[in-house]
Structure 1
Amino acid sequence: MESFSAIPVFVAVVECGSFSLASEQLGVTKSAVSKRISQLEAKLGVQLLHRTTRKLSLTEAGERYFDYARNALTLANEGEDAISELQDKPRGRLRVNAPMAFGRLHIAPLIPDFLREHPQIEIDMMMDDKVVDLVGGSFDIAIRIGKLPDSSLIARRLAPCHSVLCASPAYLQRWGTPKKPAQLVSHNCLYYSYFQGGTEWRFNGPEGLESLVPRGNYRVNNSEALLEALLAGLGICQMPTFIVGPAIADGRLVALLPEYRLPQHAIYAMLPGRKHIPAKIRVFLDCLLTHFDETLPYWDGH
């Protein structure tokens, strides 16, 4: 029976590629993970992993065992999902991944009421502007913004994601208001490092599609840091309205180039493809779908 309990540990080590990352995913120490793998190898009488200072790799026996172990773990998880689906009260740990700014501004405020309504659920939320592997990171649900790659994940649209070009009144008073995208070359354009649209800003206007590569003295991987720079009058930036909507509504920022449309995206809840959706995931997804508007989200009310 000890070998069965080591299967999730072994699968996590192989999928993560290291003992340390597997320990973070499983919530145990690195030494505990190493010990479980050693015990499994001793029980089976074979070496499953080649260990070097730089990386781990499967032995021939490890490759063969991993296929069976992963299938066994999948079946066990599906069994748990099937049972969870029948539970009257959702329970268990729910792992959520969300972009930093959207998660802090629009997901985190929902958590207290959600947990009061579902006290037997424990939420483990990781906010990160980098796109993480939903399955490899063992997340139950993730928030994604932008164009979705083809995958086996289940996507539920939550809301549109509109973007605007904006700057503060103080910046525009000092440097002037651009009327066309081409005039942005003479402005300080701030830039989001993880922008999925590539290095160009694209505009669809009266004369068709126009694009330029923004130039400026500030590039950062966090949208809220860009918002602070905008409010301080540092430059012009392309920003999602779920961040700058309130500042535009109260006049702290000004939306620019109204005749030019920026590419539109959407905000999605992503779930791993599975036969049964556990109750803890289903009620959290219902919470998101109830809170957000697929047509006009509350941050665009202005």
Structure 2
Amino acid sequence: MRLPDLEAWAIFACVVEHKSFSGAADAIGLSKATVSKAITRLEAQLGTGLFHRTSRRLALTESGRTLADHAQRILAEARAAEEAANDGAAALAGRVRVSAPMSFGLAHVAPLLARFLAEHDRIEIELDLSDAVTDIVAEGFDIALRIGSLPDSSLRARRLGPVAMHIIAAPAYLARYGRPTHAGQLGEHRLLGYTNASGPLHLRGPGGAEVAVRFAGPLGANSGEAILPALRAGLGIAVLPDFIIARDIAAGTVEPILTDWHSTPIGLHLMTPPGTLRPARVEALISFLTEEIRRQCPPEPRIDSARLVD
């Protein structure tokens, strides 16, 4: 039986991460020629090319994109196995890469990470804040916090709690354009849209009535925070999560409308790459974030139907 070339798989994962042969070579302390030979060897064993190579650009082939996920898992599992063999205290050291949505990350994740680092001075955290959909395996993230429904994938997920959504408008907008009394009237109003949302927003109201609304109007943005100035100025109606809009509601700069209509429940999830073997520092941060965020979240309105919960 021929054993897999684990070294070549690990080198392939490093090339994908650093997007170049020379970058991977520098990161792992090998010559560029050694890295190139390992990739050539792996391509020969697999019977397919992994990269399109030119003098200026290195790009994954279709096969390479498919296999990159496997390579990242192999490398991550090997690193975790080595760290698991170390002394437990010593393993609570090193870097953890975390991805989170921009607004939620600033308001809730960053303060928690400061507390965690104060207790673990040998751990380093790299926090990436973005509302864009990120491939956490390809980008090398250990933990990702995601809000919304989960796509079908091999990622592991644990639900931390529900996210309350509000349909809101400023008093000035309602005074000028009127207050809608039925979700079906939203299409007649000026709407402020969140462009990262895919498809229309489905609302359910009294008596089981359902309405689909596409939020497209004078302003669309890929950040909920970017919608706030226009919302406060009375330029339109928006649907935003509680963690973005709660202070404005409390201050009276905006107010909830159509409160008997609700969107499909969405949740906050903590995502990790496939596999159960993780470094101790990653497990420590997962446990900390899970406990602290669940404490802050409101009670669950329903049982989560996520594909995989650990």
TM-score range, shorter chain: 0.7 to 0.9
Paired position in structure 2 for 1:274:
275
Secondary structure of residue in 1 paired with 2:217: coil
Contact 1:95–1:140 (Cα < 8 Å) also in 2: yes
2:35 maps to which of 31, 36, 40: 40
Q: Which amino acid aligns with 1:56?
A: A
Contact 1:78–1:274 (Cα < 8 Å) also in 2: no
Residues 42, 264 of structure 1: CA spacing in aligned structure 2 closer, same or farther, 3 A cutoff?
Answer: closer
Paired position in structure 1 for 2:304:
none
Q: 1:26-57: CA deviations, max 9, x gaps?
A: 7x98xx79x84334336899796551255435
Corresponding pairs, count: 283
Pairwise CA distance, 1:111: 1.9
- Whether 2:59 is the aligned partner of 1:56: answer yes
Pairwise CA distance, 1:171: 1.4
Paired position in structure 2 for 1:98:
100
Paired position in structure 1 for 2:20:
19
Paired position in structure 2 for 1:287:
288
TM-score by length of 2: 0.77
Paired position in structure 2 for 1:156:
158
Looking at structure 2, the residues matched to 54 and 195 of structure 1 have their Cα atoms a distance apart, in angstroms, of 33
Structure 2: tracts of 5 or more residues without a match: 44-50, 300-310
Secondary structure of residue in 2 paired with 1:292: helix
Paired position in structure 2 for 1:194:
196
Residues 8, 277 of structure 1: CA spacing in aligned structure 2 closer, same or farther, 3 A cutoff?
Answer: closer
Pairwise CA distance, 1:239: 0.7
Q: Which amino acid aligns with 1:273?
A: P
Contact 1:166–1:237 (Cα < 8 Å) also in 2: yes
Looking at structure 2, the residues matched to 67 and 270 of structure 1 have their Cα atoms a distance apart, in angstroms, of 15
Residues 215, 75 of structure 1: CA spacing in aligned structure 2 closer, same or farther, 3 A cutoff?
Answer: closer
Secondary structure of residue in 2 paired with 1:123: strand
Paired position in structure 1 for 2:234:
233
Pairwise CA distance, 1:154: 1.8
TM-score by length of 1: 0.79
Q: Which amino acid aligns with 1:257?
A: L
Residues 44, 19 of structure 1: CA spacing in aligned structure 2 closer, same or farther, 3 A cutoff?
Answer: closer
Pairwise CA distance, 1:86: 2.9
Looking at structure 2, the residues matched to 83 and 238 of structure 1 have their Cα atoms a distance apart, in angstroms, of 49
Q: Which amino acid aligns with 2:35?
A: L
Residues 128, 153 of structure 1: CA spacing in aligned structure 2 closer, same or farther, 3 A cutoff?
Answer: same
Pairwise CA distance, 1:125: 0.8
1:121 maps to which of 120, 123, 132: 123
Residues 4, 146 of structure 1: CA spacing in aligned structure 2 closer, same or farther, 3 A cutoff?
Answer: closer
Paired position in structure 2 for 1:172:
174
Contact 1:160–1:295 (Cα < 8 Å) also in 2: no
1:182 maps to which of 165, 184, 200: 184
Paired position in structure 1 for 2:75:
73
What do you get for the CA RMSD once the two structures are aligned? 3.7
Pairwise CA distance, 1:112: 1.7
